[in-house]
Amino acid sequence: MEYFDIYDKYGNFLHKTALRGTPLNPGEYFMVIHVWIEREDGRFLIQRRAKKTDPVPHQWAITSGVTSQGETPLEGAIREVHEELGLTLDSKDLEDRARIVSHDESYHTITHVYHTFKAPKIDELRYQKIEVLDAKYVTLPEIKSMIEKGEFWNYPELLDEENYFSILERGSL
């Protein structure tokens, strides 16, 4: 069973936790992390998701996840990259690019978007089989094309943030 902390929209801890999958009350949010791993040539590491319980199962996405109970977003980012890809990062390896507050009727999140240039070769990765089927490096235009084809998670739509990719293009929202 996975538990996560509950926050207000400003990121203040509300001294409450919830079991993953539990609907939140209005004004309650949980933390999500996105980690963009970029090579020096401008290509990003993406992974084909394995879990049927993902918001968009079996599509391509970046490394992402929910912070665990008692965990900061930065700690969650480091943990998720290690769990899903076997890549060890340090806090100094990650640049905090954005914080996006989004919600719909059942999904209230504060998404922390991180970026790193600590990009391994594909054959150096160790996939967590229940999370990741495959990985590859692609350009941002290729990612946008994959979204149009329904092959990649549509982060601008999922987070209701039409300028999501500007985080990578110019550094922050």
**pLDDT, tens only, 106-162:** 679 999 999 999 999 999 999 988 889 999 999 999 999 999 999 999 999 989 999
What is the per-residue DSSP string for 18-64?
EETTPPPPTT-BEEEEEEEEB-TTS-EEEEEE--TTSSSTTSEE-EE
Q: How confident is the model at residue 173 (pLDDT cuts 50, 70, 90)?
A: very low
Q: How many domains does the chain have?
A: 1
Q: The domain containing residue 159 runs over which residues?
A: 3-170
- CATH of residue 129's domain is 3.90.79.10
Q: Residue 47's pLDDT is what?
A: 96
Q: Residue 137's pLDDT is what?
A: 98
The pLDDT of residue 54 is above 80: no
DSSP single-letter state for residue 122: G
Q: ∠ at Cα 24 (80, 114), nearest 5°?
A: 30
